Structure 1
Amino acid sequence: MKGSNAKVVREKLEQATQLMKKHEIDTWLVLTREGSDPALPLLVGVRSVHQAAIFIRESGKHIVLTSKSDAGSYESTNLFDEVRVYESSMEKAFTELWNELSVEKLALNISEQDHLCDGLTYGLYSWLKDNVGEQILHEREISSEEMLGELRSIKTEAEIATVAEAVRITVEIFESVHSKLKPFMTEIEIGNLFVEEMKERGVSSGLGDAYDPPLVCAVRHGLAHRKPSDRLVEPGDIVIIDFSMKYEDYVSDIARTFYFLKDGEQEAPATVNHAFETAYKAITESIEALLVDKKGYEVDAVGRKVIEEAGYPTIRHSVGHQIGRATHDGGTTLGPRRVPVRLAVEGSLKAGEIYAIEPTVIQDKGLPCMLVEENVLVTEEGPVLLSKRQDTLWLVKR
């Protein structure tokens, strides 16, 4: 493991031990096989092929029990005080190690709410119960959800720098593509421009496969989470492009809206400009509300109010969500309160979290829609914009 990735993992493992001290947990156990736990890259930066048991310790003296073939991957991280290898029977080696460690409070990656915190499979949990004993496990186990959620959400210095670079490259790609757009391209052709830009820079898509195109929607053809179509983009069309890009395992999530000018037009029609101005104002006020200790639903209400007061239908999704190793990175969400209660929107914002802000004007029947999405870091001193804002509707001339 080299470079910024190694620095990120070291910072995250140190952050994990501090969270364990805060929650008075002596051992955090990650059981995995074939990379089954989504927390594994975040915590140790290794994908096990065979079954492994990773013991993260409050003391900072971490131990992994792994197969002989996987041992080298763990040793190369220099994160572990001991890399213990099992040969034919992991069960025997695990029991010996468990008894040596005298575990009193055991955190496991189990969650009913957050899939990113629910990495312990039922099969591996059953294996653990068989090897530790059901009663002992019941007395000592605790969900790691609160710790893991905070670990994912609160970015370290190296993580923030990596996300910021992903955002910078994404903005650069958008600007390059803007210069190449012209009427009568298909949505697919526009999407392929982004693929070419990613390949040129050695980066990949943040959603789906490595070279999947972004969401490209001519509003006239319907606004939805769909793949680009072979339908033409014509003069008079509003085109929304929502692009998540991955750089060194961290992602951006930025959207831009374009208007394709008709013959004789120097600017978009008033109804289109009004939709943009409304979305822009909603984004501005939502960003200003990104303050430490604000509740997720409180920030959502700010952006949602702007959209509704301008006479548009309410937003069909949340005003914002966290980004990091995933485009939708779990933790606190900037969404509306509903029944039953959604824990994600009841969460409080913390310094070090990064949000994609996207209060959207959405209308049916081809009426003007507007999606502009910016990426923002929460700090103790206030919000810090990571992306270069789209201040005006981007025009495409014939």
Structure 2
Amino acid sequence: MHAYDESIADRLRAVLDGMDAERVALNYDRDDVVADSLSHGLFLRLRESLPDREFVPSGDLVRRLRGAKSETEFERIRRAAEATEELLQTAAATWTPETTEREFVDFLHERMRERGLDSAWAWDYCPTVHMGDREVGHTLPADHTVDEGDLLHVDFGVRREGYAADIQRLWVRGGASEGLRAAFRDVRAAIDAGHGALAAGAVGHEVDTAARAELTDRGWPAFEHAFGHQVGRAAHDVHESSALVSQSERAAF
């Protein structure tokens, strides 16, 4: 840590000279908010302070850093996933045909408060609950219930020890129709195909392609989102997070 009294410019230049650093990666990125927290004003100040340095976006560096998880991080993610799964099963076990989306959400929020767990994304939208045939997406809960043969869909994750989980689950009330069973088999086959392509060092788009091809080969249109995403400090790690450097940390580097 290097403190400064008045201007950061002289001390910053001295540190960079000591490192023989001609290129400086800053926390800005056109495409990834996880690396894009530098304000325009601070960027201008840095450019004035370091006119002889080349600035580059830090997105690639941050993605490599955040993408490689330590065993401690893996364990924290597992514990967050276990807590999420336990709460989901508890909520499903207490569900009745009269339970509304709002009541389902309130039940999970109450259990989270009891255990001191935070939500993996915005509290009001976590969990996201859809009952019946209304459009699925990140929406607020309403007074819908589940009719016979309809689905209960929950998108949910908790943040525990600073790490997040992101799990979706579907339940059907009563017996599932043959069409629903066929759709389930096709989706499961796509998941299995992606899992089969997943290995240490695998490239994400290749895993996505394996799952996508399995689904389209079965007559379904290609889905308009990624097959999966990272979890970690954020529910969509390397895509969503708070600023990398807090205001207080900028005063000492």
TM-score by length of 2: 0.85
Q: 2-side partners of 1:100 and 1:284: how far apart? A: 51
- 2:171 is aligned with 1:247: no
- 2:147 is aligned with 1:234: yes
**Alpha-carbon distance, 1:143 to partner:** 3.1
Q: 1-side partners of 2:20 and 2:41: how far apart? A: 23
Question: 1:110, 1:143 within 8 Å by CA — same for their partners in 2?
Answer: yes
CA deviations over 1:347-385 (Å, ceiling 9, x no partner):
xxxxxxxxxxxxxxxxxxxxxxxxxxxxxxxxxxxxxxx
**Alpha-carbon distance, 1:237 to partner:** 1.3
**Alpha-carbon distance, 1:308 to partner:** 2.3
The answer for the alignment partner of 1:42 in structure 2 is: none
Instruction: Give the fraction of aligned pairs with identical amino acids, expressed as a percent.
Output: 29
State the superposition RMSD in angstroms. Answer: 2.0
Which residue among 66, 71, 77 is the counterpart of 1:157? 71
CA deviations over 1:325-366 (Å, ceiling 9, x no partner):
1111127xxxxxxxxxxxxxxxxxxxxxxxxxxxxxxxxxxx
Structure number with higher strand proportion: 1
Q: 2-side partners of 1:299 and 1:192: how far apart? A: 36
Q: Which runs of structure 2 are paired with 1:76-91 in the superposition (5 Å)?
A: 84=3, 86=5, 89=6, 91=7
SS in 1 for 2:113: helix
**Alpha-carbon distance, 1:311 to partner:** 2.8
Q: 2-side partners of 1:199 and 1:109: how far apart? A: 34
CA deviations over 1:7-46 (Å, ceiling 9, x no partner):
xxxxxxxxxxxxxxxxxxxxxxxxxxxxxxxxxxxxxxxx
CA deviations over 1:64-111 (Å, ceiling 9, x no partner):
4xxxxxxxxxxxxxxxxxxx253xx2x1x5413532551432322232
SS in 2 for 1:284: helix
Q: Which runs of structure 2 are paired with 1:1-398 in the superposition (5 Å)?
A: 63-64=1-2, 84=3, 86=5, 89=6, 91=7, 94-99=9-14, 101-102=16-17, 103-105=19-21, 106-132=24-50, 134=51, 136-138=52-54, 141-209=55-123, 212-261=125-174, 267-330=175-238
Q: What code does the residue aligned with 1:320 have?
A: G
SS in 1 for 2:168: strand
**Alpha-carbon distance, 1:137 to partner:** 2.4
Q: 2-side partners of 1:281 and 1:100: how far apart? A: 54
Q: 2-side partners of 1:219 and 1:314: how far apart? A: 24
Q: 2-side partners of 1:158 and 1:288: how far apart? A: 25
CA deviations over 1:218-269 (Å, ceiling 9, x no partner):
24122222122122222221121111211122100100001011xxxxx322
**Alpha-carbon distance, 1:123 to partner:** 0.9
Q: Which runs of 5+ in 2 are unaligned?
A: 240-253
Return closer, same or farther for 1:104/1:257 CA change in 2, 3 Å cut-off: same
Return closer, same or farther for 1:314/1:97 CA change in 2, 3 Å cut-off: closer
Q: What code does the residue aligned with 1:185 have?
A: T
SS in 2 for 1:233: coil
Q: 1-side partners of 2:120 and 2:15: how far apart? A: 42
Q: 2-side partners of 1:176 and 1:196: how far apart? A: 12
SS in 2 for 1:299: helix
Question: 2:27, 2:35 within 8 Å by CA — same for their partners in 1?
Answer: yes
Q: What code does the residue aligned with 2:146 have?
A: V
SS in 2 for 1:239: strand
Return closer, same or farther for 1:143/1:222 CA change in 2, 3 Å cut-off: closer
Question: 1:187, 1:233 within 8 Å by CA — same for their partners in 2?
Answer: no
CA deviations over 1:132-177 (Å, ceiling 9, x no partner):
3x2x123xx3333222111111111221111111011111111111
Q: Which runs of 5+ in 1 are unaligned?
A: 1-62, 65-83, 262-266, 332-398
TM-score by length of 1: 0.55
- Higher RCO (CA < 8 A, seq sep 6+): 2
SS in 2 for 1:246: strand
Structure number with higher helix proportion: 2
